[in-house]
Amino acid sequence: MPLQRLVVSPEQMQNGHIRLTPPQLHYLQRVLRLGTGDRFIAMDGDGHAWLASLSAIHTLEPQAEILESIAHSTELPIRVTLVAALPKGNGFDEVVRQATELGVEQILPVLSDRTLLHPSPQKLERWQRIANEAAEQSERLCVPRIATPVPFVEHLQPEQQSATRVKKYLCAARGKAPHLLECLQSDCLSLAGATPSLTSITIAIGPEGGWTDAEVEQAIAASYQPVSLGSRVLRAVTAPLVALSLIAAVYEMGVGIGKR
Amino acid sequence: MPLQRLVVSPEQMQNGHIRLTPPQLHYLQRVLRLGTGDRFIAMDGDGHAWLASLSAIHTLEPQAEILESIAHSTELPIRVTLVAALPKGNGFDEVVRQATELGVEQILPVLSDRTLLHPSPQKLERWQRIANEAAEQSERLCVPRIATPVPFVEHLQPEQQSATRVKKYLCAARGKAPHLLECLQSDCLSLAGATPSLTSITIAIGPEGGWTDAEVEQAIAASYQPVSLGSRVLRAVTAPLVALSLIAAVYEMGVGIGKR
């Protein structure tokens, strides 16, 4: 049975202890049924984690003792940003959950020309909460950040583009674009020895019905490379997972190959 | 706007016409809002499809006229069977839906030592209905068959093993097994020129908590090769999609490479 995980914020850490909030104490005590001295893993969501032990649960200031810090191994060797058009209904909940399991670093929900939904601020909080939970469950040390939704064309503006070495793929509807797997493998191999090496991948997935022609053109102008995810029609909730599965597999294997 | 799809059974086809059942007529008329003369795609779920036109919707024997048969292009170049331990709750609905989108030919739900759920016959009907709908939505011509759930060890019995050239992978919890992508690529390449070539892949995904050691041993004895899906913990509903994403990508790309 692996140890249970809890996301804490840096301000909670003090002199080798973690000051627990009432909801955290409730979660540890009532949901996970931990008692005094029981161990769990505290993570700050930014790649750090500690083995901690629950102490003094019946005081006014419940806290846990930090026993040791833990080296991380479940993060991808590359930073991945998912730019995803918001699907209808509550479908984005599952996208956030599964993308977190697959190692994404940041999720940017975007509004496309074919998106009708304008999410409320409550939605953003909900997605961040789901990302926290999913990061705990999948034993990740980094919690993906969910960015505030913006129109896709706004994301494409030059001032939004980062200066780091980032490769950007745009998943297009079935067409003549090369398969994402093909692009990933050639980029992973050709960049393995390059300096500075590729540090980040951005993958953009359209809404049901796909990006409009104008959106595809503007994305290409902003250095996005159109890629295909295969010959079947995928729902907007499935396509991100297919793309992230391929990215994770290629880069985890690529690193494995480099190590030999 | 692509044409809408409807699954029909072979007995409904007669002299260039399709005799429509009342639920089918309701679906075409009320849900899709098609009128006399409107076109749709009829598919038999076994790889055949026809362009059809709705005729005479106000008669006692509603039917559609078959205009022409359609060549298929959305199926994978290899037959894929998903053997999946049943997750808790209704999670299997989404596995069926997404596996269908990803091109699976058959889904065999299995009961593992760590499965508590014994599904009712109604569940099986429900999953088949979801597969039908998902095949229509993802524009597939084959509808995956959902087999009756059996204990995993029963599936491993020699009499259950097919005689065709089938490669079997068992997704193991994080460990020392090679990555599925690595195995797929080496098998796809090495078997591309072989005669008889690989015709079928079976991929087995365990429950939350993974297969037991005994199950892994018995699977290996039944020619399953243990593989890894990467270094993060995946839920039982996510792991099948990761595996199927990799299979579809490698074989669709492999065929592409073979064609050049």
CATH number at residue B47: 2.40.240.20
What percentage of chain B has pLDDT greater than the value 70?
A: 85
For residues A160 and A44, state if they share a domain.
no
User: What is the spatial distance between Cα A131 and Cα A7, in angstroms, rounded to a whole number?
Assistant: 11
Cis peptide before A196 (omega within 30 of 0): yes
What pLDDT does B176 receive? 76
User: What is the spatial distance between Cα A207 and Cα A237, in angstroms, rounded to a whole number?
Assistant: 9
pLDDT in tens, A87-102: 877 789 999 999 999 9
The CA-based angle A22-A26-A31, given to 5 degrees, is: 160
For residues A251 and A124, state if they share a domain.
yes
- Indicate the pLDDT class of residue B164, thresholds 50, 70 and 90: low
Q: Which residues of A touch B229 (CB under 8 A)?
A: 249
pLDDT in tens, A222-243: 999 999 998 888 888 899 999 9
Q: In what order do the strands lie in the sheet with B63-70?
A: B5-7, B39-43, B49-55, B63-70, B17-19, B13-14
For residues B131 and B240, state if they share a domain.
yes
What pLDDT does A181 receive? 94
The CA-based angle B80-B89-A86, given to 5 degrees, is: 75
Q: Which parts of chain A have pLDDT scores under 50? A: 1, 195-196, 255-260
Give the contacts of B8 (CB within 8 A, at least 6 positions apart): B18, B24, B42, B43, B44
Could you say which residues from 134 to 173 on chain A have a Cβ atom under 8 Å away from some Cβ of chain B? 137-140
CA distance B73 to chain A (A): 7
Residue B27 DSSP symbol = I
Of B70, B88, B119, the last residue of a domain is B70
Structural domain range at position B64: 5-70
What pLDDT does A43 receive? 85
For residues B185 and B84, state if they share a domain.
yes
Tell whether A250 lies on the interface with B, counting CB pairs under 8 A.
Answer: yes
Cross-chain Cβ contact B233/A137 below 8 Å: yes
CA distance A133 to chain B (A): 13
User: What is the spatial distance between Cα B211 and Cα B204, in angstroms, rounded to a whole number?
Assistant: 10
What pLDDT does A33 receive? 84
For residues A170 and A242, state if they share a domain.
yes
Q: Which residues of A touch B136 (CB under 8 A)?
A: none
Exposure b/e, A163-177, CB count within 10 A at least 16 = b: eeebbbbbbbbbeeb
- Indicate the pLDDT class of residue B195, thresholds 50, 70 and 90: very low
What ipTM was reported for this prediction? 0.73
Burial status of residue A19 (CB atoms within 10 A of its CB: 0-12, 13-18, 19 or more) = middle
Tell whether A246 lies on the interface with B, counting CB pairs under 8 A.
Answer: yes
What's the number of domains chain B is made of? Answer: 2
Tell whether B33 lies on the interface with A, counting CB pairs under 8 A.
Answer: no
Cross-chain Cβ contact B230/A249 below 8 Å: yes
Q: Which residues of B touch A245 (CB under 8 A)?
A: 241-242, 245-246
| A42 and A21 Cβ atoms separated by less than 8 Å | no
For residues A129 and A228, state if they share a domain.
yes
Of A21, A47, A70, the last residue of a domain is A70
User: What is the spatial distance between Cα A162 and Cα A202, in angstroms, rounded to a whole number?
Assistant: 11
What number of other Cβ atoms are within 10 A of residue B129's Cβ?
Answer: 13
> How many Å separate Cα B189 from the centre of its chain?
23
Cross-chain Cβ contact B74/A253 below 8 Å: no
Give the contacts of A97 (CB within 8 A, at least 6 positions apart): A130, A131, A133, A134
For residues B102 and B218, state if they share a domain.
yes
Q: Quick one: average pLDDT of B105-124?
A: 87
Q: Which residues of B touch A246 (CB under 8 A)?
A: 245-246, 249
Radius of gyration over alpha carbons of chain B, in Å? 20
Tell whether A95 lies on the interface with B, counting CB pairs under 8 A.
Answer: no
Q: Quick one: average pLDDT of B122-127?
A: 93
Testing the interface with A: which of B73, B232, B253 to mutate, by most A Cβ within 10 A? B232
For residues A133 and A214, state if they share a domain.
yes
For residues A65 and A96, state if they share a domain.
no
What pLDDT does B1 receive? 43
Of A70, A97, A124, the last residue of a domain is A70
For residues A156 and A45, state if they share a domain.
no
Residue A155's φ and ψ, nearest 5 degrees, are -60, -30
For residues A136 and A254, state if they share a domain.
yes
Residue B213's φ and ψ, nearest 5 degrees, are -55, -40
Residue B199 DSSP symbol = -
For residues A94 and A26, state if they share a domain.
no
Q: What is the CATH number of the domain that holds B201?
A: 3.40.1280.10
What pLDDT does A147 receive? 95
**Between residues B166 and B95, which one has the greater pLDDT?**
B95
User: What is the spatial distance between Cα B137 and Cα A235, in angstroms, rounded to a whole number?
Assistant: 9
What pLDDT does B198 receive? 62
Residue A7's identity, in one-letter code, is V
CA distance B133 to chain A (A): 13
- Indicate the pLDDT class of residue B72, thresholds 50, 70 and 90: low
- Give yes or no for residue B159 having a pLDDT over 70: no
| B37 and B53 Cβ atoms separated by less than 8 Å | yes
